[in-house]
A and B are shown apart, each in its own frame.
Chain A
Amino acid sequence: MTDESPTVEASTYLAPYKIALLSLITLYCEGYIPRKERMNVISKILPYIDLFGREQTYGLTDKSNKNGDQGEVENGLNLPLSELKQLIGADNMSTMPGRTIYELVLEKVWQLNSLDAFHTFMYSLRSYITSGKPEDLNDERAMKLGLSKLLSSSSILGSFFRKSGLAFDYLSFEDFSSLWRALVSYRNETFSDYKHIHAPEFEEIYDELQQDLVVHDVDIQGFLENDYIRNMVNLEIGESSAGPKILFIANQDLEYLLEYQVEAFENYGGPMPHYLRETLNEMIRRDVMVPSSAYYVRYLEAYHDKDYERSYELLHQYFDYTMYNRDRTFYQYALFTLAGFQASFKCHTECLRATEEAIAVARENKDIPCLHYILSWLYGFLKDNPRLADEFYNKSFTSDEHLLQFLKTKSKDVSPGLHATAHQCEAAHAAADLGNVSAAMESIVKSSYINMTLNKSNKVVELIVLLSAIWGRLGLPRMANIYLDSYFETPSDYRDGKSDITARILKAEILYDQGELFEAEKILDELEASTKGSPVDYEMWLPHLLLIQAKTCLSKNRLSDAQVRIDQLSRQSITSTSLEMDIEHCRIRLLVAQGNTSLALEQLSNFIHTRVESGADIMFQIKFRILYARIVYRVSNPSRALSLTMKCIAMAEKAIIIPLALEATCLLSDILNSLEQYTDALAIMDATMPRIFECSSNELVADSYASLADSNMGIVGKVSLEENYNDDEEENDVVTSTYSTISGSKIEIRLPSRKTLLYRTKTYLEEAGHRYHKSRNYKAMGEMGVKMILVKRLIAELEKKIAKSKCRTSHNIDSEQYTSFQQESEKREKSINDLTDWCMGVLERIQKQ
């Protein structure tokens, strides 16, 4: 066979490999396939016959190799006889003694010794089919034809025969003869096998050149001796034939393959298989009619390569070919797709124009389902781009709620899927805008119920994202985790690539929030490995990874690294608003960490005015305000910070965003500490600790421990300042202290003893340090360390004092004992001093960095 690439020709349905399959099935009808092999053989070839089986054929390979390679794709378009041989088993014997099934198939195929024989074979297909009524199944006809079986026209094999027969009827003579030539070229590879079957007949002819004439009808052999004529009709026989290799493609196969490819593209991205691309190019080059979905595949390819110009052109090309299809026009879909396309390239105004026209055209054509799809998509789009929303709502719908209401009420009649989406939108809306949580939950349940009845798995992740957002607001990330984990436990067949990526990113974020940084980064790294090289996927997960890395760097106090990440992020095109907000949040935190507090404050207040207050998610509104309060507190204006924080707490409480409320509370206690209102701070923190634990965020817990420790220390300081040292301290955990109130009356309050307080502080610091370590907040950890040393020193001093006083009071201890005790305590003191110095050094270094 020549090395040059094969010529590509196409027909609607038939292809040479289907002729081989038809031959095999006629063998089955003629009773040559033994009873015990029937199931085996027929089930093996079924994927090549049946549409549903076909998906399986592709499906088998796509998990292991999403990008596809040559062999696999050719499988969808062709089944060489050699592969058929493997498929049905080379040694499977038929009922004809001494012959394998494969040999009989070969014989059938090679018996087609002329175009006419081929025609007769194709024409005879209809005689294998029966109407399917039970009385017809074993009628006389079968007996007459010598068939052991007839095919019911409604069976899979029967419909394959029927379709082949119909396709044959529609073939023009030219197409038919090119199919015949393709068949000749297709079977050529098995010429030696065929010769082997008929060895004696071929051995009689010694001349190699004459051998191939044997396989032709006697009547036309005379012509074929003439090389020129033989060339004209392209009937070279034998493996070494010089004729061009013909790849004859059934357009229907190609369409299936392309549809599969579209799906693969939309789900996984990845480059188009080389072989498919070559075939398509060859077809276009030779002016063979290509199914219009080919253009769509090419569009998707260009789109994935982020080639705006090319994909824009290809999109138009595709829709120009498909505008009028099956008595329907697709103008609105074209516009809708265009809108989506423009949106993804961030051409928002263009996108809105396209959408408006799409809505107008859909209305004009009374295509209600499409209209709903467009509106539902638009709703989501406008949610992500609140600035565009104002512009749009001024024109058409009065508000997003209006639009949502419209969708919710009308979509029910259009499609249940859309109805589910509408409910989902409502839930999202409720979650975003201070809505009623129970109403949101209700909508989610409705939506998921509809999805479940529709058996749609692709919406699950969207629901999980929504749910986790709601649970996250309620400060119960564990609940979100439950859904995610159950999602990951579903078999991978039911998940598609895009949802998978979203779910994993979500998981990583939740883990990060809980302070499980290792885990979070691990998940994102895995994601990087599993989505090799697809630019769209890359775009999906990369910002998240960068953001998490930046946050981590910030905690680790590696400010320059964090800066690098933030710079990288600013170069990315970020489509999601929430991500954008998160990045901005992180950037300002970085500014603060770098010491640019004034700049940070300025930018932050700017940002809050321009972006946050105009329709951003309430969560971000609070988040940025807390940050603002924190900075204000840092630049030592605690009283102003106090009022800001109080406001934040009120807002968060109203919007039921628990984690933020807790964060603000924690900040409040810090502020109180700095205002030396230690007992108040302690009281607040004591009350909120259970909720904070519920939140299971390491950072928050650590912060609150730190705050608790500060309060405790403050109290210790106060106690030691205000009242005399009580010798009974060691016996009692509680000391009675007298506070003078404003009215002058003296109230006795019982405070924990100094020792208890110190030990408690120590525990708190340990906890905080441990938590900070977990969330890799090394800076805070260092601080805790230093504080810890101070506390330990105090404890040591205290113990020393107690020991001294004990010695003094009891006089029971001999002088030797006392000396050793003193030495020991001095040693301990020294080591603590050294440690303190070292720690201070470390802290300084950290701060310098």
Chain B
Amino acid sequence: MSKKYVRYNSLNSGNSIGTLFSSLGYETDRFMLAKSYFDCREYYRCAFHLKDCKSPKAVFLKLYAKYIAGEKKKEEDSEGILKPKDGITSNTELITIIKELDDYFTKYDTEDPFLLYMYGIIMSKKKNEKLAISKLIKSVSLYPYNWSVWMELLSCIKSYELLCEIIPKLPKHIMTKFFILTANQEFFQPMQNLQGLIQELDRIFPDLPFLVVQKALINYHNLNYTESEATFDQVIKKDPHRLDDMDTYSNILYVMEMKSKLAFLAQLSSATDKFRPETCCIVANYYSLKSEHEKAIMYYRRALTLNRDCLSAWTLMGHEFVELKNSHAAIESYRRAIDANNKDFRAWYGLGQAYEVLDMHYYSLYYYQRAAALKSMDPRMWQALGNCYDKLERFDDAIKAYKRALQVSEMDPLILFRLGILNEKIQDMKSAAFYMKTCLQEEQNEGVTDETSKARLWLARYELNLSNWEQAQMYASNLIHGTPHEIEEARAIVRDTRSRIESERRDSFINR
């Protein structure tokens, strides 16, 4: 469900009609007229007919209509996705709305939840997050059933720490629980932290698709793809026309490389509605998986035309541009993803990668740091950081980063090998040898990989330097995989060690 639709709906269903009318008083007729215009998407007309109204609901509708009209204009002026004017245009109505709101608040000194919500939106747009958060919290305290306020609040929260700070200030309400669950999901919190909360909500709302999907999302963020997939399967069977969050499901299928299932999902969703951003993302994901990057980009573009705030589309489009070696476009799409929602680590990571491709390692460092801050439990972020430091010859930092990566992952031979090499570079041969050996040990779990072979060769060379001929020979003779060059080198070591061992034997024999 698009955000706008949620907002608009809350106006309809949030209040019981009776209370709404009583609060409107003699302005009821005018309000009804304006509301009808609003429903017909004639926003300025709606605002015009409410211009002299005093009741808070009417004022809210007027300002909200103006806001939507401004947003509409802004999008129309931007001339489409990634065009020269895209992102430059702004909502010109914001200033008048602020002025009216300020006037209203000073004049009447009331605290209406919807007006507060409006104020929150404006502040958030003006990047005054602190004020926005306080207004929005006030709004939800007065009227907790407006989910749009919660979503706006979430978009103002930039870090998990801030979220933790805010949670105590929130009212004690069932909606707060939903909010906490969603917010934690968005900040990639592990499942175990949320188990209790989910169970509690599950008891009250059994089989609520929203909850089920949240569960699946949390699983996804924690890289439990199979579980997440199964959960999504259930959701589809129960509610085949549901498209919300199905783009995430397609991401899961993408990662699991389940092509036929992804194709089926794409078919299913385009049977429901082919002009939903989610559908377009799913189709684009499918094409991306089939290495048809141009087509994928086309569908991402379509998704973005349908909804500019469709964050994952921006990021994924960035990925496609990277595939097409169009770093410039990739960087712009990633940047937009971040501007839409700066909690998306993939966009940060993507930006870092894009700059890295351009050999701007120092510059990409910033982006990797942001990504790692957002998703500190993901070894890939740390690996990327480590790699960057390595390239910048800041070996200590690189080692730290890799060590961190090692902590959050299960003994990845690649990380171990990199650590070994880095330690070699700072002349800490002992540590290097340790990591190399550990890397080699991983062969038992992971099977032979390039890294383990390289580690083996490295160890052979290492032992050779230490004159441990037999050790060296053992390592070198076990080398089966690798480039022809490596294998040749291993053979040379074997020959060398063999001759040395023999000469030693001979020597010892003679000496004896």
Binding site for B on A (CB under 8 A): 113-117, 119-120, 123, 173-174, 177, 180, 217, 219-220, 222-223, 226, 228-229, 232-234
Find out whether the CB atom of A219 lies under 8 angstroms from the CB atom of B258. yes
Q: Tell me the complex Cα distance, A217–B299, Å.
A: 25
Tell me which residues across on chain B come within 8 A of A217, comparing CB atoms.
260-261
Query: Contacts A116-B259, A219-B258, A220-B261 hold; do A177 and B266 have CB atoms under 8 A apart?
Result: yes
Query: Contacts A226-B240, A229-B236, A229-B237 hold; do A219 and B270 have CB atoms under 8 A apart?
Result: no
Q: Tell me the complex Cα distance, A233–B299, Å.
A: 20
Q: In this complex, which of B236, B261, B263, B271 has the most chain A Cβ atoms within 10 angstroms of its Cβ? A: B263
The residues in B between 218 and 257 inclusive whose CB is less than 8 angstroms from any CB of A are 233, 236-237, 240
Q: Tell me the complex Cα distance, A395–B285, Å.
A: 68
Tell me which residues across on chain B come within 8 A of A117, comparing CB atoms.
260
Q: Tell me the complex Cα distance, A223–B268, Å.
A: 10
Interface size on B, residues (CB 8 A): 24
Tell me which residues across on chain B come within 8 A of A229, comparing CB atoms.
236-237, 240, 268
- Residue in A113, A116, A174, A228 whose beta carbon sits within 8 Å of that of B270 in the complex: A174
Task: Determine whether B262 belongs to the interface, using a CB cutoff of 8 Å to chain A.
Answer: yes
- The chain A residue with its CB closest to the CB of B256 is A219
Tell me which residues across on chain A come within 8 A of B233, comparing CB atoms.
222-223
Find out whether the CB atom of A119 lies under 8 angstroms from the CB atom of B263. yes
Task: Determine whether B41 belongs to the interface, using a CB cutoff of 8 Å to chain A.
Answer: no
Find out whether the CB atom of B267 lies under 8 angstroms from the CB atom of A115. yes
Find out whether the CB atom of A220 lies under 8 angstroms from the CB atom of B264. yes
Q: In this complex, which of B240, B267, B286, B287 has the most chain A Cβ atoms within 10 angstroms of its Cβ? A: B267
Which 8 pairs from chain A and chain B are nearest by CB?
A114-B260, A115-B263, A116-B260, A116-B263, A217-B260, A219-B261, A116-B259, A220-B264
Find out whether the CB atom of B260 lies under 8 angstroms from the CB atom of A220. yes
Binding site for A on B (CB under 8 A): 233, 236-237, 240, 258-264, 266-268, 270-272, 274, 283, 286-287, 290, 295, 299
Q: Tell me the complex Cα distance, A180–B268, Å.
A: 13
Tell me which residues across on chain A come within 8 A of B299, comparing CB atoms.
173
Find out whether the CB atom of B290 lies under 8 angstroms from the CB atom of A119. yes
Tell me which residues across on chain B come within 8 A of A113, comparing CB atoms.
260
Tell me which residues across on chain A come within 8 A of B237, comparing CB atoms.
222-223, 226, 229
- Residue in A173, A220, A234 whose beta carbon sits within 8 Å of that of B286 in the complex: A173
Q: Tell me the complex Cα distance, A456–B258, Å.
A: 60
Q: Tell me the complex Cα distance, A223–B258, Å.
A: 14
Find out whether the CB atom of B267 lies under 8 angstroms from the CB atom of A233. yes
- The chain B residue with its CB closest to the CB of A118 is B263
Query: Contacts A117-B260, A220-B261 hold; do A177 and B267 have CB atoms under 8 A apart?
Result: yes
- Residue in A115, A123, A173, A234 whose beta carbon sits within 8 Å of that of B264 in the complex: A115
Find out whether the CB atom of A232 lies under 8 angstroms from the CB atom of B270. no
Find out whether the CB atom of A174 lies under 8 angstroms from the CB atom of B268. no
Tell me which residues across on chain B come within 8 A of A233, comparing CB atoms.
264, 267-268, 271
Q: Tell me the complex Cα distance, A114–B266, Å.
A: 12
Find out whether the CB atom of A114 lies under 8 angstroms from the CB atom of B263. yes
A-B contact pairs, 5 of them (CB 8 A): A115-B260, A115-B264, A177-B270, A223-B268, A229-B268
- The chain A residue with its CB closest to the CB of B284 is A173
Query: Contacts A115-B267, A226-B237 hold; do A174 and B274 have CB atoms under 8 A apart?
Result: yes
For the A-B complex, the count of residue pairs with Cβ-Cβ distances under 8 Å equals 68
Min distance, Cβ B463 to any Cβ of chain A, angstroms: 41
Q: Tell me the complex Cα distance, A457–B332, Å.
A: 64
Tell me which residues across on chain A come within 8 A of B260, comparing CB atoms.
113-117, 217, 219-220
Min distance, Cβ A26 to any Cβ of chain B, angstroms: 19
Tell me which residues across on chain A come within 8 A of B272, comparing CB atoms.
232
Find out whether the CB atom of A228 lies under 8 angstroms from the CB atom of B240. yes
Q: Tell me the complex Cα distance, A117–B258, Å.
A: 12
Q: Tell me the complex Cα distance, A686–B266, Å.
A: 98
Q: Tell me the complex Cα distance, A451–B104, Å.
A: 90
Tell me which residues across on chain B come within 8 A of A180, comparing CB atoms.
267
Q: Tell me the complex Cα distance, A117–B259, Å.
A: 9
Min distance, Cβ B286 to any Cβ of chain A, angstroms: 7
Find out whether the CB atom of A232 lies under 8 angstroms from the CB atom of B286. no
Find out whether the CB atom of B290 lies under 8 angstroms from the CB atom of A123. yes
Min distance, Cβ A236 to any Cβ of chain B, angstroms: 14
- Residue in A173, A219, A232 whose beta carbon sits within 8 Å of that of B266 in the complex: A173
Find out whether the CB atom of A116 lies under 8 angstroms from the CB atom of B271. no
Q: Tell me the complex Cα distance, A217–B270, Å.
A: 20
- The chain B residue with its CB closest to the CB of A170 is B295
Min distance, Cβ B232 to any Cβ of chain A, angstroms: 11
Min distance, Cβ B84 to any Cβ of chain A, angstroms: 27
- The chain B residue with its CB closest to the CB of A228 is B240
Tell me which residues across on chain B come within 8 A of A116, comparing CB atoms.
259-260, 262-264, 286, 290
Query: Contacts A115-B264, A220-B261 hold; do A173 and B240 have CB atoms under 8 A apart?
Result: no
Tell me which residues across on chain A come within 8 A of B270, comparing CB atoms.
173-174, 177
Q: Tell me the complex Cα distance, A220–B262, Å.
A: 9
Find out whether the CB atom of A114 lies under 8 angstroms from the CB atom of B240. no
Min distance, Cβ A261 to any Cβ of chain B, angstroms: 34
Min distance, Cβ B69 to any Cβ of chain A, angstroms: 32
Min distance, Cβ A239 to any Cβ of chain B, angstroms: 23
Q: Tell me the complex Cα distance, A113–B240, Å.
A: 21
Min distance, Cβ A125 to any Cβ of chain B, angstroms: 14
Q: Tell me the complex Cα distance, A174–B261, Å.
A: 16
Q: Tell me the complex Cα distance, A174–B274, Å.
A: 8
Q: Tell me the complex Cα distance, A294–B107, Å.
A: 70
Q: Tell me the complex Cα distance, A123–B272, Å.
A: 26
Q: Tell me the complex Cα distance, A114–B258, Å.
A: 12
- The chain B residue with its CB closest to the CB of A180 is B267
- The chain A residue with its CB closest to the CB of B233 is A222
Q: Tell me the complex Cα distance, A119–B295, Å.
A: 13
- The chain B residue with its CB closest to the CB of A232 is B271
Find out whether the CB atom of A232 lies under 8 angstroms from the CB atom of B240. yes
Q: Tell me the complex Cα distance, A229–B265, Å.
A: 10
Known: A113-B260, A116-B263. 15 other contacts (CB 8 A): A115-B263, A116-B259, A116-B286, A173-B299, A177-B267, A177-B270, A217-B260, A223-B236, A223-B264, A226-B240, A229-B236, A232-B271, A232-B272, A233-B264, A233-B267
Tell me which residues across on chain A come within 8 A of B283, comparing CB atoms.
173
Q: Tell me the complex Cα distance, A791–B272, Å.
A: 103
Min distance, Cβ B296 to any Cβ of chain A, angstroms: 10
- The chain B residue with its CB closest to the CB of A114 is B260
Min distance, Cβ A218 to any Cβ of chain B, angstroms: 8
- The chain A residue with its CB closest to the CB of B259 is A116
Q: Tell me the complex Cα distance, A401–B267, Å.
A: 69
Tell me which residues across on chain A come within 8 A of B286, comparing CB atoms.
116, 173
- The chain B residue with its CB closest to the CB of A229 is B240
Tell me which residues across on chain A come within 8 A of B258, comparing CB atoms.
219
Find out whether the CB atom of A173 lies under 8 angstroms from the CB atom of B287. yes
Tell me which residues across on chain B come within 8 A of A234, comparing CB atoms.
271
Q: Tell me the complex Cα distance, A226–B239, Å.
A: 11
- The chain A residue with its CB closest to the CB of B261 is A219
Min distance, Cβ B470 to any Cβ of chain A, angstroms: 43
Min distance, Cβ A484 to any Cβ of chain B, angstroms: 62
- The chain A residue with its CB closest to the CB of B241 is A232
Find out whether the CB atom of B264 lies under 8 angstroms from the CB atom of A114. yes
- The chain B residue with its CB closest to the CB of A234 is B271
Min distance, Cβ B239 to any Cβ of chain A, angstroms: 10
Tell me which residues across on chain B come within 8 A of A219, comparing CB atoms.
258, 260-261, 264
Min distance, Cβ B440 to any Cβ of chain A, angstroms: 35
Q: Tell me the complex Cα distance, A430–B69, Å.
A: 78
Q: Tell me the complex Cα distance, A115–B258, Å.
A: 12
Tell me which residues across on chain B come within 8 A of A177, comparing CB atoms.
266-267, 270
Q: Tell me the complex Cα distance, A229–B269, Å.
A: 11
Q: Tell me the complex Cα distance, A177–B267, Å.
A: 7
Tell me which residues across on chain A come within 8 A of B264, comparing CB atoms.
114-116, 219-220, 223, 233
- The chain B residue with its CB closest to the CB of A222 is B233
Min distance, Cβ B285 to any Cβ of chain A, angstroms: 11
Tell me which residues across on chain B come within 8 A of A232, comparing CB atoms.
240, 268, 271-272
Min distance, Cβ B23 to any Cβ of chain A, angstroms: 43
Q: Tell me the complex Cα distance, A123–B295, Å.
A: 13
Tell me which residues across on chain A come within 8 A of B236, comparing CB atoms.
223, 229
- The chain A residue with its CB closest to the CB of B286 is A173
Min distance, Cβ A62 to any Cβ of chain B, angstroms: 41
